[in-house]
Amino acid sequence: MRRVNSKSESLWSEEFAVEAAAEQYVSRRQFSKFLVLTSMGMFVGQIWILVKNWFRPTTVYKEKPVALISEIGIGEVKLFSYPEPADACIMIRTAADHYVAYSQKCTHLSCAVYYEKEANRLECPCHEGYFSVSDGSVLQGPPPRPLPTVVLKREGDNLIATGIKL
Amino acid sequence: MNRRGGLTAIDGAMALIALLLVVQMWLLTATLEAYLSGHSEPIFPAALISGLIFVGCFGLFLFIRRIDANVRITRQPD
């Protein structure tokens, strides 16, 4: 709608005869278009993750001696790092001839888990996430996934880490 | 369709789009979290579901456009 210019109005308001309220008005159709574009953006994000996953190189783990059998008693633990020095892991000797090892990073917020011998479970002190010693599965708390398992093999008196099972 | 009925239909469709967006947002964050932790199993199904949600949102947008156009055509002059 064109407004009639009066003497009190400046020249610019005649040239740009748009009401301030109308300028800020967003119609339902415009808003729904914005929502659909947001949905498209998130779909593109999903596709981006899919493409990144296709081109992700497979991790090759090197074998690394991590402990001597004689140095861990039954029910005792040994901390080590695998595959990189920054990747802390925890090994537990659960029986005379049975060893298990897991990543020490809690799958919730990466706090270090520790072995609670009396309850026979791995515990995260930050948010009371508990993990099973037998397979690393979540027993309670906020962790969304089991602890990554370090695959071990025995060669003589050595325990050797050969890979990580997510 | 009269103006009031048209607006109700449009508002309902917009609310549905907003609801689908929330689900899609959750799906994206969960997929990203799984990807970064090395789990690739949920990535393809999540992309498929996200695509379906996008198609649903687009369908609702077309519905809104159609209703809007119908209301404008049948609207009586003020």
In angstroms, what separates the C-alpha of A35 from chain B's closest C-alpha?
A: 7
Q: How far apart are CA A162 and CA A34, in angstroms?
A: 51
Best of A50, A149, A165 to disrupt the B interface by mutation (most B CBs within 10 Å)?
Answer: A50
Residues of A with CB below 8 A from B57's CB?
35-36, 39
Q: Give CA angle at A65 (A117, A113), nearest 5°.
A: 30
Partners of A154 in the beta sheet? A159
Kindly report whether the peptide bond that precedes residue A83 is cis, defined as omega within 30 degrees of 0: yes
Q: What is the ipTM of this complex?
A: 0.89
Nearest to A91 by CA among A73, A118, A107, A109: A73
A40 and B CB contact within 8 Å: yes
- Sheet with strand A121-124: strands edge to edge: A114-116, A121-124, A129-132, A138-140
Question: What are the tens digits of pLDDT across the range A107-156?
Answer: 999 999 999 989 999 999 999 999 999 999 999 999 988 999 999 999 88
Whether B21 sits inside 8 A of A42 (CB atoms) is yes
| Cβ contacts of A144 within 8 Å, gap of 6 or more | A107, A108, A138, B33
- Residue A1 confidence (pLDDT): 47
Which CATH number is A64-165's, of 2.60.40.10, 2.102.10.10, 3.30.70.1060, 3.30.70.100?
A: 2.102.10.10
Question: What are the tens digits of pLDDT across the range B17-67?
Answer: 999 999 999 999 999 988 988 888 899 999 999 999 999 999 999 999 888
In angstroms, what separates the C-alpha of A49 from chain B's closest C-alpha?
A: 7
Residues of A with CB below 8 A from B53's CB?
39, 43
Range of weakest confidence among A15-19, A55-59, B10-14, B17-21: A15-19
Q: How far apart are CA B68 and CA B18, in angstroms?
A: 18
In angstroms, what separates the C-alpha of A64 from chain B's closest C-alpha?
A: 21
